[in-house]
Chain A
Amino acid sequence: MSEQHIKLPEGSIEKTTTTLNLGPTHPATHGVMQNILELDGERIVSTEQTIGYIHRAFEKIAERRPLAQITTLTDRLNYCSSPINNMGWHLTCEKLLGVKTPKRVDYLRVIIMELSRISDHLICNSIVGVDAGAYTGFLYVMQYRELIYEIYEEVCGARLTTNMGRIGGFERNFNNIAFEKIEKFLAEYPRVLKEFENLFQRNRIFMDRTKGTGAISAERALNYGFTGPNLRAAGVDYDVRVHSPYSSYEDFQFNIPVGTTGDNYDRWLVREQEMWQSLSIIEQAYQKVQEFKGTEADVYHADVPEYYLPEKVDVYTKMEALIYHFKIIMGETDIPAGEVYQSVEGGNGELGFYLISDGGRSPYRLHFRRPCFIYYQAYEELTKGAMLSDAIMTMSSLNLIAGELDA
């Protein structure tokens, strides 16, 4: 197969390869992204990625929005784990404003972020299964993602586009139903995850399909700028939670699962093990949260009157609260000028927020470092010479999420 054949115009008699549009709206792409594949039989000769199908100009919109409203934009990045994005954004704002959050807030955030990580990995791993032809596992674990969504619903009132938390903490304290549901999750989830592993991990068909496909070496992965589970699967134990802890992650004991070859099977295994680690982090955080008693248990936000809305009762009765209320909503408080970068370990990798402020009510410039965007660049290298069906699995095991790919 010479390079020349590919460049021949469509329909010319000498052309021996087939051009296939995989996407933008193909069920196997799990999102709006396009791949133009050149196929020789079923083998992929070359691929070309196109992005921008759901580009919503978030970074531009953010330049005209007060900080609180930008949270709603972050929901829509990696929508499988929106609370992590929300928390990441609040952490960025807090870094710029110099706000220190109470420990209880940190631990509650950790619980929510790890729950989101589980829901994200759960989707990714079960979708890899679906692409290998095993739909059942996906259906069984979805019941527990549902439980996670119900926990979100108790905390913030929505399930997918959560808009959870505020600068300095949460919008409301966790209620008893939320804690009961977290307890239920902790009690029941290990059995479900075990069953999920039983269905896939040592299954011959699944192993044959995933082992050795879509592999990337640690060096290449680093060169591309991989982070998160995809880098760890290649054997580099880089985890933002350990290397630059935020939200009191240094208080928790957990391991970093790493793979060796960086293929689809390794990525699957790393995500699977990370779910166990997340579970243990949630357990630890839940213990720590339960240790707060009396008035300490009512703490759910830091004291930042310039940015955290006062209680509604105070707004109706106290002048000062009313003034702050109006000032905050109308974005009258100038944010300090400065430049901050804050990253969190998102469901998919290092999710970074680079915020430049020149004062005023909204950022001068805001950049989202979206891990999916980086993974997608390596897609050609990962799939060259592979079979078409492996390319599909590689796409889902990289956990490419269109919302995060195009900000």
Chain B
Amino acid sequence: MLTQRAKEVDRKPMTFLESIYLWNIMKGMGITISHLFKKKATINYPEQTRTFSKVFRGLHVLNRDEEGRENCTACGLCAVACPAEAITMEGAERLPGEEHLYREEKYAAKYEINMLRCIFCGLCEEACPKDAIYLSQTFAPANYGRKGFIYKKDDLLIPHPIENKEAYEAALGDKPAKN
């Protein structure tokens, strides 16, 4: 013995009662029957769904600010932080007259997340200095082809907060509009 803390497990031989099969079957059955009257532990998915925690890491959403401008400035930190190398983007310069579309002078012209690569680690959300990407509480949907899992900017962008308020709020969920 290496320590004073060892405690031997109880391995005593079977008693006569225990060696009778019938007794064990009755005992087991007793436990099973008692479970028949307990509350059901399962839910009827997909009709019912359980609520996830506020910090659940589900599908990504690209955020807009209160005026509906895209937050992302294509800085690429999320792509650098991503352990699965799932994010690709292409930056572009904001032209005069586009100020109502993009918040910063530079924006992501293309922004793609390959959901088959993504491991939903949440590091991109943590990395973003512009509050532009976060992981929502929605679950990954099924799809027929692999192509469909490469989410483009249109798939990721949150609905416009003024033009489509309800959808925006639904997508925002429990996240604060501004961190």
Contacts and interface: CB of A to CB of B under 8 A. Distances in A.
Interface of A: 65, 68-69, 72-73, 134, 136, 140, 143, 146, 150, 153-158, 161, 163, 171-172, 175, 177, 195, 198-199, 202-205, 207, 236-239, 242-243, 254-261, 265-266, 269-270, 272-273, 309, 312-313, 315-316, 322, 325-326, 329-331
Given A204-B19, A204-B24, A259-B11, A316 B80 contact: no
A326 B11 contact: no
A218 to B, nearest CB: 11
A270 B7 CA distance: 10
Contacts of A242: 3, 5
Interface in B4-35: 5-11, 14, 18-21, 24, 27-28, 31-32, 35
Given A72-B119, A146-B41, A255-B7, 4 more contacts: A153-B52, A157-B122, A199-B31, A204-B19
Nearest to B55: A157
Contacts, number: 134
A140 B36 CA distance: 11
A258 B80 contact: no
B157 interface: no
B11 A254 contact: no
A202 B9 contact: no
Closest 6 CB pairs of A and B: A237-B6, A269-B9, A69-B83, A157-B55, A157-B57, A255-B7
B120 interface: yes
Interface stretch (B88-96, B101-109, B126-134, B160-168): B126-134
A172 to B, nearest CB: 7
Contacts of B14: 202, 204, 207
Interface size class of B (residues with CB under 8 A): 35 or more
B53 A161 contact: no
A241 B12 CA distance: 28
B7 A273 contact: yes
Interface in B109-138: 119-123, 126-127, 129, 131, 135
B56 A153 contact: yes
Given A136-B28, A171-B126, A329-B77, A257 B7 contact: yes
B21 A204 contact: yes
A313 B179 contact: yes
Contacts of B81: 68-69, 329
Nearest to B82: A69
A248 B75 CA distance: 40
Q: Which of B8, B14, B122 has the most CB of A within 10 A?
A: B8
